[in-house]
Copies of this chain bind each other. A is one copy, B any other.
């Protein structure tokens, strides 16, 4: 399914294009071209190549959660009891399937999973904990952090390297 085509070393042009698209992917190709001294078709071909190579994974609209009634962002640290490969895979699958879980990472350290959860209100979060954590016999402990301020939110990847 994944048409990972090749590994084309990104040059300075590619990085500048990515930098622009990471901020606004509705920027016209001609405008990008003007900014980096390249023609629109050249920009278009590079974007296509990077998309096929998987460097660009998606093109998405970013919404204001509060504007669609999802006012609360919560972090959860989870510690599991058994860390067998099968159990971990099960947990990953379950967390990934829950729409309220916006992000899920399997981590080292004092916790095993870190989740970012988006819900309309605390009642919904409480219901979610019952379903996902108390209802999962492999969850040993979890700690909740409620976001008071989303200081910086995004998926922007630095391109300095």
Assuming the contacts A109-B144, A146-B108, A157-B70, asked whether A57 and B53 have C-beta atoms less than 8 A apart, the reply is no
Q: Are B60 and A54 in contact (CB under 8 A)?
A: no
Residue of B nearest to A117 (CB): B158
Cβ of A80 within 8 Å of any chain B Cβ, yes or no, is: no
Q: State the number of copies, please.
A: 2
Chain A residues bordering chain B, tally (CB within 8 A): 68
Given A60-B62, A153-B155, list of 16 further CB < 8 A pairs? A18-B68, A21-B60, A21-B61, A55-B67, A55-B68, A58-B61, A59-B61, A95-B152, A103-B152, A105-B151, A111-B145, A113-B151, A114-B147, A118-B157, A120-B161, A154-B155
